[in-house]
């Protein structure tokens, strides 16, 4: 069985007090599930605090939402992989569509970030996904393939097994417009095929592929029932512990 990962991407939300409330409520209701990992990505000033709160909770991990691709040095405003690690993170979200489209991150930069994250034994959550006009122009496959092909050739099979892929159609992020299960599954199947083409089917079958884009308590069960959907990367519905707990407790 593949590991399932339900991840909270808080983006630029939640102060220290909100974080404390969230973890208190989460841990009061949380029961670890076999093969299901929980990942929480607060904003970077709160990573260490979040790691302390999650300490001792079975299969609950912290992720950074981004990091830079250099060890250290004159990069004002950035955080390094060793800092992410030092704050107690196991994961790092890389290539989120907001990083690509608001901050101009390129496939090349994202590939460098993935590589250095792996060197520091961080698990990258590599986000890919097409814009609405790309979908409407029938270019989803082309876009997703080229985003993956910017990274995959640089990885060994062992490294690929440490990467989580998150398919997030940009038109479904924060819009309330979720991809249908069929639309999502179609791309997840394609992504697994591309991984299989690069590393063989055995590796591809072990890689966790999350879906992201308006995941909520009302649609999590249908999404998680699809054969190639192994988890969710969740923004809006991850901010309150109650709704996030419902996502973690998706029906198998
Ligand atoms: P959303 O965000 O759940 O609010 O659509 C998902 C994401 O950006 O990862």
Please provide the CATH number assigned to the domain covering 4-248: 3.20.20.70
Active site residue 96: yes
Q: 215 CB less than 6 Å from ligand 1?
A: yes
Catalytic residue among 96, 105, 134, 159: 96
Active site residue 58: no
Per-residue pLDDT tens listing for the chain (252 residues): 799 999 999 999 999 999 999 999 999 999 999 999 999 999 999 999 999 999 999 999 999 999 999 999 999 999 999 999 999 999 999 999 999 999 999 999 999 999 999 999 999 999 999 999 999 999 999 999 999 999 999 999 999 999 999 999 999 998 888 889 999 999 999 999 999 999 999 999 999 999 999 999 999 999 999 999 999 999 999 999 999 999 999 998
Domain range annotation of the chain: 4-248
> What is the CA(9)–ligand 1 centre distance, in A?
7
Gap between the Cα atoms of 73 and 53, Å rounded: 30
Q: What is the SS3 assignment for 90?
A: coil
pTM: 0.97
CA distances from 219 to 2, 69, 82, 165, 168 (A): 21, 35, 36, 20, 15
For ligand 1, atom 2, name the residue with the nearest CA. Answer: 235
> What is the CA(8)–ligand 1 centre distance, in A?
9
Unique residue bearing structure tokens 């050739």 = 153
């Amino acid at each position: 069985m593949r590991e399932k990962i339900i991840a909270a991407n808080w983006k630029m939300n939640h102060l220290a007090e909100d974080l404390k409330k969230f973890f208190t409520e989460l841990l009061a209701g949380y029961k670890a599930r076999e093969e299901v990992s929980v990942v929480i990505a607060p904003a970077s000033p709160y990573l260490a605090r979040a790691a302390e709160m999650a300490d001792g909770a079975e299969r609950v991990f912290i992720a950074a939402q981004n990091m830079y691709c250099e060890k250290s040095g004159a990069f004002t405003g950035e955080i390094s992989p060793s800092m992410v690690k030092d704050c107690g993170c196991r994961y790092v979200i890389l290539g989120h569509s907001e990083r690509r489209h608001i901050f101009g991150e390129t496939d090349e930069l994202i590939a460098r970030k993935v590589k250095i994250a792996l060197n520091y034994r961080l698990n990258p959550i590599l986000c890919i996904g097409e814009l609405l006009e790309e979908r409407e122009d029938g270019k989803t496959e082309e876009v997703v393939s080229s985003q993956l092909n910017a990274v995959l050739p640089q990885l060994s099979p062992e490294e690929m097994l440490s990467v989580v892929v998150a398919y997030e159609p940009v038109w479904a992020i924060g819009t309330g417009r979720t991809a249908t299960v069929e639309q999502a599954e179609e791309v997840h199947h394609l992504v697994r095929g591309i991984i299989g083409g690069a590393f063989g089917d055995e590796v591809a079958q072990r890689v966790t592929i999350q879906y992201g884009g308006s995941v909520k308590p009302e649609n999590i069960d249908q999404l998680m029932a699809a054969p190639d959907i192994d988890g969710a990367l969740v923004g809006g519905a991850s901010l309150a512990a109650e709704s996030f707990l419902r996502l973690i407790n998706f029906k198998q």
